[in-house]
A = this chain, B = another copy of it.
Amino acid sequence: MKNPPHDTGKPLTIGRLARQFGLSRSTLLYYEAEGLLGPAMRTSANYRLYDDSAVQRLKQVAAYRTAGIPVRDIRRMLAKPPGRVTGILERQLEQLNRKIGELREQLRVVVRLLENREHLKKVRAMDKESWVALLRNTGLSEEDMARWHREFERLSPEAHRDFLESLGISGEDVAAIREWSKTL
């Protein structure tokens, strides 16, 4: 065994390393500036050369970035003994949860603005599936959606019909949904 396990033995230039991870060179330069990882050595022409330990480190970094963890926090995680990062992960969990909530609220506002303008009948290129998915993203449960249909039917029956038809739902099914809306 000339090489330890997982060691390819070939030092990489920055471009090759970047391509191996689907990242850009400027991303790796940024990580270096932020103290996450750097080259083990340089060539005579000052080219960066990365060894296997950099590859391992970059694996961690890339995984954490995929989780949306800030670079500053990743630096701290790499400095800590492995396994002591639960606190940061939990904090990231809360942050993401909060951000998703905020974006959902914004989505709700946009939908309301579109409704107010009664441009709903102009929703082009959206079918039933994408609308249901969209409304689900706003955090609407099945009951919320039912209430939404009921209110829509009550306030503006024609617009409700137009809307349902614009989703490509058959006239028969539209009638059924509208009847169901009234019974809610």
A binding-site residues for B, Cβ under 8 Å: 63, 66-69, 83, 85-86, 89-90, 92-93, 96-97, 99-101, 103-104, 106-107, 109-111, 113-114, 117, 119, 122-123, 134, 137
Shortest Cβ gap from A158 to chain B (Å): 19
Q: How far apart sit A107 and B101, CA to CA, in the bound complex (Å)?
A: 12
Q: CB-CB < 8 A to A114: which residues of B? A: 86, 89-90, 93
Complex partner residue of A93 from B67, B96, B97, B111, CB under 8 angstroms: B111
Taking a contact as CB atoms under 8 Å apart, the answer to whether B103 and A137 are in contact is no
Do B110 and A67 touch across chains, with their CB atoms under 8 A apart? yes
Shortest CB-to-CB span from A143 to chain B, Å, is 14
